[in-house]
Amino acid sequence: MNLEITSVYVVPLAVLMIVLWMSVTKTRAAMGVSIGNNGDTVLHEKIRRHGNFIEWVSVVILMMMIAEIRGANGTALHVAGILLVIGRAVHPFGLRHDNPNHVLRIIGNTGSLLALVIATGANVWTQFY
C-alpha cells in the first residue's frame, strides 16, 4: 500500500512542524532556556503552538493512514487532509494567551476536529461496511 492520499498531506504538515519547532528552539536559545518556559509568556505560547500541533496531527494522520490502508473513501480522506492542513496552518496565529476566543484558534481547532471526525468515521465505515 502506497498511502497515496495521506502522503499528500504529511509533507506540508511536516514543514509546518519544522517551522513551529524552529520558533521554539530559536526563542529558547535566545533566552538560554533548555527546559520549560522560564515564566515567559511568549515562549510558553510558542511551546503550546508546537505541542498542540503534535497532539492533533499525530492522531489524525494515524487515523487517516489506517483508514487508507483499509480502503476508505478517497474523497473523505482528502477532505480530512485538507481540513487538517488548513486548521493546523491557521491555529498558531490564533493561539494567544490574551485572547482564548481568537477566530483563527477556533477555525484551527474546528478544522482539526472535523478532520478527526471524518478520519474516525472512515475507519468505522471500513470496519463495518
DSSP 54-65: HHHHHHHHHHHH
Q: What nine digits make up the cell of 67?
A: 483508514
CB neighbour list of residue 30: distance below 8 Å, 6 or more residues apart:
none
CB atoms closer than 10 angstroms to residue 9: 23
Q: Which of 55, 54, 37 is nearest to 97 (CA)?
A: 37
Its pTM stands at 0.95
Q: Where are the alpha helices (DSSP H) in 70-102?
A: 74-94
CB 13 within 8 A of CB 57: yes
pLDDT digit string, tens, across residues 49-91 = 999 999 999 999 999 999 999 999 999 999 999 999 999 999 9
DSSP secondary structure string for all residues of 15-26? HHHHHHHHHHHH
- pLDDT band for position 34 (cuts 50, 70, 90): very high
pLDDT of 129: 86
Q: What nine digits make up the cell of 55?
A: 497532539
Angle, CA 16 vertex, CA 93 and CA 83 arms, to 5°: 75
CB 53 within 8 A of CB 92: yes
